[in-house]
A and B are shown apart, each in its own frame.
Chain A
Amino acid sequence: MYTNAAELWTEAKERQVPLSEIILENEMQLTECSKEEVMRHLEKMYEIMQISAAKALQKPLFTVGSLITGIAKTQYDYAQTPDTLCGGFLNLLMARALSCSETNAAMGRICAAPTAGSCGIIPAVLITVAENRKSSKEAVFNALLVSAGLGAVIMRNATVAGAEGGCQVECGAAAAMAAAAAVDLAGGTAEAALHAAAFALMNIMGLICDPVAGLVQVPCAQRNASQAVNALLSADFALAGQRSIIPLDEVIDAMFRTGKMLPMQLRETAMGGIAATQTGRKINDEIFSKKE
Chain B
Amino acid sequence: MNISIFDVLGPVMIGPSSSHTAGAARLAYVARQIVDAPFTKVDFYLHGSFAKTYKGHGTDRALVAGVLGLREDDERLAASFEMAKEQGISYTFQTIELEGAHENTVKMVFHLSKGGESTIIGSSLGGARIIITEVDGFAMEYTATSPAILITQQDSKGIVSSVTAVLAHFNINIGVMKLSRSAKGGIASCMIETDSFIPAEVNAILCNYPQIYRVRIINCR
Contacts and interface: CB of A to CB of B under 8 A. Distances in A.
A31 B14 CA distance: 25
A128 to B, nearest CB: 18
A161 interface: yes
A214 B2 CA distance: 33
Nearest to B6: A41
A288 B55 contact: yes
Given A30-B2, A156-B2, A151 B53 contact: no
Secondary structure of the B contact surface, majority rule: loop
A107 interface: yes
B206 interface: no
Interface string A105-124: 11111111111110100100
B58 A107 contact: yes
Nearest to A108: B15
B7 interface: yes
Contacts of B69: none
A60 interface: no
Given A45-B10, A112-B10, A149-B5, A287 B56 contact: yes
Given A45-B12, A105-B15, A27 B5 contact: yes
B53 A23 contact: no
A155 B8 contact: yes
A103 interface: yes
Nearest to A26: B1
Contacts, number: 132
Interface residues of B, number: 33
Nearest to A49: B9
Contacts of B56: 64-65, 213-215, 287-288
A288 B55 CA distance: 8
Nearest to B5: A148
Interface in B92-129: 126-128
Interface string B47-78: 00000010111100100000000000101011
A112 B14 contact: no
A3 interface: yes
B14 A30 contact: no
B3 A111 contact: no
B11 interface: yes
A91 interface: no
B16 interface: yes
A214 B53 CA distance: 8
Interface string A206-218: 0000000111110
Contacts of A151: 5, 8-9
A291 interface: yes
Contacts of A42: 9
A119 B55 contact: no
B17 interface: yes
A64 B58 CA distance: 9
Greatest chain B CB density within 10 A among A45, A122, A217 is at A45
A30 B8 contact: no
B194 interface: no
Interface string B19-47: 00110000000000000000000000000
Interface string A246-266: 000000000000000000000
Interface string A1-40: 1110000100000000000000100110011000000100
A107 B14 contact: yes
A155 B3 contact: yes
A145 interface: yes
Interface of A: 1-3, 8, 23, 26-27, 30-31, 38, 41-42, 44-45, 48, 64-65, 103-117, 119, 122, 144-145, 147-149, 151-153, 155-156, 160-161, 177, 213-217, 287-288, 291-292
21 contacts: A8-B1, A27-B5, A48-B12, A107-B14, A109-B14, A109-B75, A110-B14, A110-B15, A111-B13, A112-B11, A113-B10, A152-B7, A152-B8, A153-B1, A160-B8, A177-B8, A214-B53, A214-B57, A215-B16, A215-B57, A216-B57
Given A45-B9, A104-B16, A213-B56, 5 more contacts: A112-B11, A113-B9, A148-B8, A216-B15, A291-B55
